[in-house]
Amino acid sequence: MLSYYAIILKFFFCTKDTDSSSSWFTTEAPRSTGISLETADITVVVIYFIFVMVVGIWVRTNRSTVGGYFLAGRSMTWWPIGASLMSSNVGSGLFIGLAGTGAAGGLAVGGFEWNASWVLVALGWVFIPVYISAGVVTMPEYLAKRFGGQRIRIYMSVLSLILYIFTKISTDIFSGALFIQVSLGWDLYLSTGILLLFTAAYTVAGKHTHTHTLLCPTIIIINVFIDTALSNGLVIYYMSAVPSVTVTNTTCHLPRSDAFHMFRDPVSGDLPWPGLVFGLTVLATWVWCTDQVIVQRSLSAKSLSHAKAGSVLGGYLKLLPTFFIVMPGMISRALFPDEVGCVDPDICQSVCGASVGCSNIAYPKLVVELMPVGLRGLMLAVMLAALMSSLTSIFNSSATLFTLDLYHRARPKASERELMIVGRVFILVLVCVSLLWIPVIQTANSGQLFDYIQSVTSFLAPPITAVFLMAIFWPRANEQGAFWGLMTGLVVGVIRMVLEFSHTAPSCGQPDGRPAVLADVHYLYFALILLALTCLVIVVISWTTAPIPKEHLYRLTWRSRYSQEPRINLTGPPMTLDQVDCDLNPVSSHDHLPESWCRRTFLWLCGLTGTTTGSAPPLTENSELNSLHEEPLWRRICNVNALLLLAVNVFLWGYFA
């Protein structure tokens, strides 16, 4: 343990001495020797997951109703909400992606995390008040109330499920499998299948009150890297991390000259600063303010003040990954330049199985090579818990969308028992799809995992962001404009995505033969262009078609969130939780018959055992209005802390600019 911290601290607080440092730094980095877990490591992993399961089951609330299962009974306080916002976004893909991109390009990728603090404040102060006043359970439900009709809601539900599968589940599975492969040497398919089944079982058995427990990985990781701070040590050693075998007449083996700058050239930078500031905000708004996985956390708050405070806590936590994920990735490249920083295709293929580069192994390589017995098992448990956290959130939210927005529409008279069973079965379907997708992930360009995630998001998410912004801030937007704006954005985004993956970026030393629209237009710039195009289509079509009467918009827009006027729904009475909460144990002639253990086990897995402890509070018009009430003291405390968070964020941007 002391040796691990000694190496970390030496990078940050020592200056380079060519004579003394060469004995430990310039020697060839040791290749992985297939380090296996010791008994102590296995014991730590088992104890950790037993603790996670026990606490997760112990803190479950009202899981026998749709409201209890999907929204945690609307009783969550601010600190588990803040931890949940963080843990739901911290999957193994974040560890592998951030550390890998940090190893390859430097600090700038940390801006993706710092940008989230601003958008989380917008979530708590702008978006959540509108969602609460609207009385919605899912994001497609809000759009259905706001615009009427069914095609937008169905479009959103289907597109969200597609995004979950191909940008969240797939990347988390790949990165988790990569971590296991590097650290344990297990068979890829067997280990991944076990993880997915374990995660699905945990999701089925509980719900997202597991976020009380998932605070533990965040705290453990923060404690591991709490002593890290930027100084000349890391700068010198990272800039000297050059592999021993390079490609002739190229410079791709050299670290970027702007590796320690957040703001990079707007034309030639790998992450141009206008795109990082403005284009990234488009993607972040989709993730943090309109994505069911994230918003569902805040909607489970017991009051608006708790939702705001949770957003502030989540914003503070998002400042940390730059220090305990990105910087360790850079340290990994400095320690293992021949493996993490390899550029020769043959060497990279032998190291990690990807000829384009091995920066993705930066984080697991650091853990496996440096951490002692016991702590290595703890970090493995933390990584697996992060994978479980992300996948559990996605499974649960995907089941919410499918059950309440698609299945219940096809079977409006479905009982609560049927809805709960369908939700669990759909989770199992997602598991099967994920397992079938593993071979595709394995053959993908593993050297660009983080770029893959962000680029796909920039191709598909901006139209969704545009529709939500117009729905909340422009009452004149109508259903025709929103739908055709979504369709236009989808067509343009899919065209760019097809071109992007049919004309891949060249490897080191190869000429760039891509069209100018791909080579010269960064995906973050494209996100801005796509947002503007979608908004333009919405405005033009909305102005040329009939507006929505204002009596249909009360408490559905920012300006009308406090309105006390009765709202006339565009699509008739909406489906709310109190309407689908029905008797799970209707009296029948068979109630007195004993049940077999198989049936009892099945009903327990589906959350249908015992009696309900009370349904979720009904979202009537009066409760919608009252739910926006805040105590003046707590409102001021939340406002002051939000301003302090933004001030700290601005300081960090300025310091590392």
Summarize the confidence of residues 318-338 as an average pLDDT: 90
Predicted confidence band at 3 (pLDDT cuts at 50, 70, 90)?
A: very low
Tell me which of 644 and 258 has the higher pLDDT: 644
Summarize the confidence of residues 185-209 as an average pLDDT: 61
The lowest-confidence range among 82-86, 195-199, 334-338 is 195-199
The lowest-confidence range among 52-61, 187-196, 206-215, 607-616 is 206-215
Predicted confidence band at 575 (pLDDT cuts at 50, 70, 90)?
A: very low
Domains annotated on the chain, with CATH: 2-15+35-583+620-656 (1.20.1730.10)
Tell me which of 305 and 576 has the higher pLDDT: 305
Does residue 65 surpass a pLDDT of 70?
no
Cα distance between residue 589 and residue 525, in whole Å: 65
First to last CA, the chain: 33
Check residue 37 and give left, alpha or beta (phi > 0: left; psi -120 to 50: alpha).
Answer: beta
Does residue 251 surpass a pLDDT of 80?
no
Cα distance between residue 340 and residue 351, in whole Å: 9
Do the Cβ atoms of 172 and 93 come closer than 8 Å? yes
| C-beta neighbour count of 215 within 10 angstroms | 17
Task: Give me the helices (H) in 372-415, please.
Answer: 375-400, 408-410
Predicted confidence band at 580 (pLDDT cuts at 50, 70, 90)?
A: very low
Do the Cβ atoms of 294 and 81 come closer than 8 Å? no
Does residue 347 surpass a pLDDT of 70?
yes
Burial of 257 from C-beta contacts in 10 A (0-12 / 13-18 / 19+): exposed
Q: Model pTM?
A: 0.79
Tell me which of 205 and 550 has the higher pLDDT: 550
Tell me which of 608 and 162 has the higher pLDDT: 162
pLDDT at 198: 66
Tell me: the pLDDT tens digits for 586-632?
434 344 445 565 655 555 555 555 444 444 444 444 444 447 888 89
Predicted confidence band at 549 (pLDDT cuts at 50, 70, 90)?
A: very high
Within 8 A by CB and 6+ apart from 221, the residues are 324, 382
Tell me which of 622 and 654 has the higher pLDDT: 654
pLDDT at 601: 56
| C-beta neighbour count of 332 within 10 angstroms | 29
Does residue 359 surpass a pLDDT of 70?
yes
Cα distance between residue 463 and residue 469, in whole Å: 10
- Residue written as tokens 């992007």? 500
Predicted confidence band at 4 (pLDDT cuts at 50, 70, 90)?
A: very low
The encoded tokens of residue 268 equal 């030639």
The length of the chain in residues reads 657
**Structural element, H or E, at residue 271:** none
Does residue 535 surpass a pLDDT of 90?
yes
116-120, 270-274, 585-589 — most confident range: 116-120
Nearest to 38 by CA among 376, 381, 379, 383: 376
Summarize the confidence of residues 56-67 as an average pLDDT: 52
- The CA-based diameter of the chain, rounded to the nearest angstrom, is 87
80-89, 409-418, 521-530 — most confident range: 521-530
The lowest-confidence range among 222-226, 447-451, 492-496 is 222-226
Does residue 481 surpass a pLDDT of 80?
yes
Percent of the chain with pLDDT over 90: 28
Tell me which of 370 and 111 has the higher pLDDT: 111
Residue 565 backbone phi and psi in degrees, to 5: -70, 140
Cα distance between residue 63 and residue 399, in whole Å: 14
The lowest-confidence range among 80-94, 229-243, 264-278 is 229-243
Tell me which of 225 and 307 has the higher pLDDT: 307
Buried b (16+ CB within 10 A) or exposed e, 13-39: ebeeeeeebeeebeeebeebeebebee
Average pLDDT over all residues of the chain: 77
Summarize the confidence of residues 267-271 as an average pLDDT: 87
DSSP designation for 242: -
Tell me: the pLDDT tens digits for 390-446?
677 777 778 877 888 788 888 888 887 888 888 888 888 877 777 776 665 655 555
Summarize the confidence of residues 244-268 as an average pLDDT: 84
The encoded tokens of residue 162 equal 């597609």
Summarize the confidence of residues 454-480 as an average pLDDT: 94
The encoded tokens of residue 484 equal 């055709």
